[in-house]
Amino acid sequence: MSTDATATTTDRLDRLAAAARDAGIDVSLIAPGPDLAYLVGHSVASHERLTLLAVPSGSPGDAVMVLPALERGGWEGSTAEAAGIRFITWLDGQDPYAMLLDALDAGGALGSAAVDDHLPYLHAFRLQQTRPALRLQPAGELIAELRMRKQPAEIDELAAVGAAIDRVHLRIGEWLRAGRTENEVAADIAEALVEEGHRSADFVIVASGPNGASPHHEASDRVIEAGDPVVVDIGGPNPAGYNSDSTRTYLVAGGEPDPEFAKVHELVRTAQRAAVAAVRPGATAESIDRAAREVLEQAGYGEYFITRTGHGIGLEVHEHPYIVAGNTRPLEPGMAFSIEPGVYLPGRFGVRIEDIVVVGDEGAVLMNNSPVELLTI
């Protein structure tokens, strides 16, 4: 295990403990999932058997991980081991909740615990039953504060996975054509995601014609027709776990496209670039949403832009900060999020254009660089 990775884990545990201390919390309890992956560089599937990392706020160097004995092997040689985390294994029939709480605090003085948002309620319930006086509260905000500002190595991962999804979009002509179903096109795209460097295809939205008017549409047996606008929104994690998420709206050649389509595409492109241009340190998250929305409102399409403008991205596809009205948080260098305005005309078509940006000292740094101009396939 590299000393870099170990130093990163130690630093992140220290920062979590400091934030928890400031919030008056005695211990942070981290469940398998993106938060555990962020802290120790590795996670496992979460089961009914308890796996939990406990980070004492006063002494993060005394962090312990309780886990089923049968899963100890998976952590052999891990960064968690190298960083000095103590493993407490338990066997079926033992009480891992009591073992964890005793390891942290045999005397019962533990007052408060921040509990990972990804911990199944059943586990939180058992912890509470074991120690009724322990005050549990959600850890989500604490951890979001750490994960929101990406470190240089994380930005490198987002740039690499952004370039990978760009390569998939650039190959769209290989798969998208009239006469094929959305599902057939989506299956080919999913394969290409992996070919171009993703660990897996997390989502592949191919929304043709009227299906494009539903932002949640994924892919169906609808046969794509000449003249259809097609929203293609795709992404997945790279081997390090960092996600891509990029949307382009294409036009299938031939047929008679909706007469409003070209105009709407141009407007969405203008709105998207206006929001990208508005990104700078100190600008609020909601001001980025406003920049996109203003363009569409002034053109009379405000009521058809039915989503927020974007979401943070990293080890999860959706995380903080959310680019939405009411989020007055000032942007800071290192924050990474999507900018994805759209216009959704019920029964007709939709247009969405989406790129990931990272806040740099001078403004937005684009993680996606495939063309946003209308492409007829």
Which residues contact Zn ion (rule: CB under 5 A)? 233, 245, 247, 338, 354
The alpha carbon dihedral of 150, 156, 157, 161 has a sign of positive
Question: Which neighbouring-strand residues pair with 376?
Answer: 251
Q: What is the DSSP letter of 264?
A: H
**Least distance in angstroms from the C-beta of 247 to Zn ion:** 5
CB 198 within 8 A of CB 164: yes
Smaller CB separation from Zn ion, 142 or 317: 317
Q: Token match 């929101």: residue?
A: 148
Min separation Cβ 233 and Zn ion, Å:
4
Nearer to Zn ion, 35 or 233 (CB): 233
Residue number with CB closer to Zn ion (165 or 374): 165
Rounded to a whole number of angstroms, the minimum distance from the CB of residue 355 to Zn ion is 10
What count of other Cβ atoms lies within 10 Å of the Cβ of residue 2? Answer: 10
Report in angstroms the alpha-carbon separations of 177 from 185, 251, 254, 377: 8, 10, 10, 7
CB of 316 to Zn ion, least distance (A): 11
Nearest in space to 258 (alpha carbons), one of 294, 290, 210: 210
* Rounded least distance, CB 219 to Zn ion, Å: 14
Query: Smaller CB distance to Zn ion: residue 118 or 311?
Result: 311
* Residue nearer to Zn ion on the CB measure, 104 or 315: 315
Q: Residue 113: which residues within 8 A CB-CB, separation 6 or more?
A: 25, 26, 27, 28, 29, 127, 134, 135, 136, 137
Q: How many CB atoms lie within 10 A of CB 233?
A: 23
> 250 near 174, Cβ under 8 Å?
no
Nearer to Zn ion, 55 or 336 (CB): 336
Smaller CB distance to Zn ion: residue 35 or 340? 340
Three-state DSSP class for residue 231:
strand
Shortest Å distance, C-beta 328 to Zn ion: 22
At closest approach, how far in Å is the CB of 277 from Zn ion?
A: 19
- Cβ closest to Zn ion, residue 19 vs residue 365: 365
Residue type at position 29: L
The arrangement of strands across the sheet holding 310-312 comes to: 319-323, 310-312, 336-339, 355-359, 364-366
* Token pair belonging to 174: 């290989």
> Least Å distance between CB 354 and Zn ion?
5
